[in-house]
Amino acid sequence: MAELVAGEGQPRGRTPSPLPISGPPSPRPAAAPACPARSPEPPPPEKAAAGSGGGGSKWVRLNVGGTYFVSTRQTLCREPKSFLCRLCCQEGPELGSDKDETGAYLIDRDPTYFGPILNYLRHGKLIINKELAEEGVLEEAEFYNIASLVRLVKERIRDNESRTSQGPVKHVYRVLQCQEEELTQMVSTMSDGWKFEQLISIGSSYNYGNEDQAEFLCVVSRELNNSTNGIVIEPSEKAKILQERGSRM
């Protein structure tokens, strides 16, 4: 057994293990300063307005008789006194406008005739498909209170009625007799509106001598209204005979 030395708690013959040297604690590395939390960036004004359904949205959705139309506020507000401008650009509680579940404005009108109304506000031109009645477009223009479009549709209706009452276009004919040397000058100096119709030779043969020249009948015509002071003008019998004669030659 190892012999113990008095006053010592370690056995003889063994090297005591070194004790740790006490001293001041080593400094710890300083912690990095905490970064302040960044607040989320606000959405762009247009997206914020569109998401909230506010009046600042650029695009407007309309539910016209169950059919959806999309247009800009600038287009719908082109006529300041129109119903659409008051609905979309001057929205107020006095209008009492309803919206469907998608946020579209509800308008109880025929969607078939809303297309020409919206296109007129877009480019200022009246375009009506053949299957649409002009009276129907006029009715919608009056409902939406678009004064310039109302005038334009009324003018077109009057023009169409005037053309229908006039019937087919008629012509007045004139027969001019001239010699061969006068023919070119006569045709080139015809008055505005007159058109060359036929050239009929009335000579027995063509003779280019100085004394004997061929003669011609020149038939010209121009458009004429159905009536002038209530008198209907028809081609003369002579003109008809000359036309028939020329067609057989």
14 Rama class: left (phi>0) / alpha (psi -120 to 50) / beta:
beta
Q: Residue 57 in contact with residue 121, Cβ under 8 Å?
A: no
- In this structure, are residues 59 and 71 in contact, taking their beta carbons and an 8 Å threshold? yes
Q: Give whole-number Cα distances, 203 to 74, 143, 186, in Å.
A: 74, 71, 18
Distance set, CA 129 to CA 116, 134, 153 (Å): 9, 9, 13
The string of pLDDT tens digits covering residues 43-83 is 444 443 343 334 557 899 999 999 999 999 999 999 999 99
**What distance in Å separates the CA atoms of residue 182 and residue 173, rounded to the nearest whole number?**
20
Quick count: other Cβ atoms within 10 Å of Cβ 19? 6
Domain ranges in the chain are: 59-165, 170-203+214-224
Q: Which two tokens stand for residue 184?
A: 């070119």
What Cα–Cα distance (Å) separates residue 167 from each residue in 121, 136, 159, 172, 225?
34, 25, 13, 16, 9
Average pLDDT over every residue of 118-125: 93
Local confidence band at 140 (pLDDT 50, 70, 90 cut-offs)? very high
* Per-residue pLDDT, 74: 92
Q: CATH number of 59-165: 3.20.20.150, 3.50.50.60, 3.40.50.620, 3.30.710.10?
A: 3.30.710.10
Per-residue pLDDT, averaged over 217-221, amounts to 86
* 148: exposed, middle or buried (Cβ count in 10 Å: 0-12, 13-18, 19+): middle
> Does domain 170-203+214-224 fall into CATH 1.10.3720.10?
no
pLDDT given for residue 20 in this prediction: 52
Of residues 187 and 154, the one with the higher pLDDT is: 154
What token pair was written down for 34?
């905490």
What average pLDDT does the segment 74-100 reach? Answer: 81
Would you say residue 7 has pLDDT above 60?
Answer: no
Q: What is the pLDDT of residues 190-218, one digit of tens each?
A: 777 788 888 888 875 555 555 567 888 88
Q: Is the pLDDT of residue 39 over 50?
A: no
Q: CA 173, CA 242: separation in Å to the nearest integer? A: 11
**Mean of per-residue pLDDT scores for the chain:** 73
